Amino acid sequence: MHDAVAPQSPLETPLAKAAAVPLPGADELADRFPLEANPRPASPERRAELLRGLHFGTVFTDHMAHARWSRSEGWQQHGIVPFAELSLSPAAAVLHYGQEVFEGIKAYRHADGSIWTFRPRYNAARLNASAARLAMPALPEEDFVASLVDLVRTEAAWVPSGEGESLYLRPFAFASEAFLGVQSANVIDYYVIASPTGAYFPNGLKPISIWVSQDYHRAGRGGTGFAKTGGNYAASLLPQQQAAERGCDQVCFLDDVTQSNLEELGGMNLMVVYADGSVSTPKLTGTILEGSTRSAILRLLADEGRAVREETIPLVTLLEGINSGAVTEVFACGTAAVVVPLGRLAGEGFDVEITGSEASRHIYDQLTSIQYGKAEDPYGWMYRLA
């Protein structure tokens, strides 16, 4: 029997398919990372104080998940261990050659106190896709999810319950072998750290301004653009600085071949909303990071009856559309901020305003309602951690 062969739709990428494979329940995955308790955790008073007035990525919980891989023995030493400084040889390969990959995913507290995460297999599969590009070993997807289960169960008291708040989880893996030879390392350490975070925009969605970089690219063909690796971010810091000097919040990159097509921001994907209700996003060419938020939003938009397209979006076409009114809205999306409308798009020789943000608000509400358990989850995206 043959399945109908459909061209790959934006909704059916390998990551989206991996994400749809059912997972065992968290009770079944629990205890793969046994707890070595922190002898000096933050007191409940100190924790309460830290949970007030949260900023992104500044406060960390008492424990972290860890496992170590060696070429001869594979993954071992799985555990939840006290959050502490790492002891690393100054010769550790990551410090010299940047062999590193990471993820970003959140744990959300629902009204009944339960704690959930969003499509963890998507991130598990993406970590492994990134790792493969960096010549690093895969972590079994269930172990990735198990590390989140055990860490979040240990740190449940750190999962905030305020509007738009969450526990941001940062899984990462890096070459810890002490060797200056240029080769794929024989020792890799995997960690997950956790950071309670507040709403990105506590006073409602605020449009951001974007500088389109015509001097630099974050990724090139055959490079590491599709992988979530620190080096891509390192390459984005100087253009980000230029954007800030131009009075802009974030930088947008163009493709490196034609230097004229939209790709994405330093850490968020882009979507363009048209007056006819359709939405388009730059197609995945290998230089764009395939966001889990992007994937979910494309699904929500399509199921709401909108035409969604993955396509080449030339900057000039976008600017024409903004000026003619054919483009009503542009927004960025990613796990940390969820959805952010663009209010201004500037670059060498242009500076335009974008006024719409209705679709951004609607999609933000739809997605966060599912994530916080306020709306039904017909997609099975949510996974109960605790």
Ligand X SMILES: *Cc1c(COP(=O)(O)O)cnc(C)c1O
Q: How far, in Å, CA of 282 to CA of 287, rounded?
A: 10
- Cβ nearer to ligand X, comparing 194 with 268: 268
Closest among 230, 266, 231 to 248, alpha carbons compared? 266
- Cβ nearer to ligand X, comparing 164 with 291: 291
Return left, alpha or beta for 255; rule: phi > 0 is left, psi -120 to 50 is alpha, else beta: beta
- Cβ nearer to ligand X, comparing 281 with 293: 293
The total of other beta-carbon atoms located within 10 Å of residue 235's CB is 20
Smallest distance, ligand X to C-beta of residue 225, A: 8
- Cβ nearer to ligand X, comparing 75 with 216: 216
- Cβ nearer to ligand X, comparing 147 with 293: 293
DSSP 6-65: PPPPTT--HHHHHHTS----HHHHTTSS-B---SSPPPHHHHHHHTSS--TT----SEEE
Q: How far, in Å, CA of 386 to CA of 383, rounded?
A: 9
- Cβ nearer to ligand X, comparing 124 with 289: 289
Smallest distance, ligand X to C-beta of residue 290, A: 8
Smallest distance, ligand X to C-beta of residue 321, A: 23
The residue ranges that bind ligand X (CB under 6 A) are: 104, 228, 264, 267-269, 289, 291-294, 334-335
How far is CA 258 from each of CA 67, 208, 280, rounded to the nearest angstrom? Answer: 42, 26, 19
232, 133 Cβ separation under 8 angstroms: no
Smallest distance, ligand X to C-beta of residue 38, A: 28
Smallest distance, ligand X to C-beta of residue 147, A: 17
Smallest distance, ligand X to C-beta of residue 138, A: 18
Residues 6+ apart with CB under 8 A from 22: 380
Smallest distance, ligand X to C-beta of residue 320, A: 25
Closest among 354, 371, 252 to 300, alpha carbons compared? 371
Q: Which residue is closest to ligand X by CB?
A: 291
- Cβ nearer to ligand X, comparing 122 with 191: 122
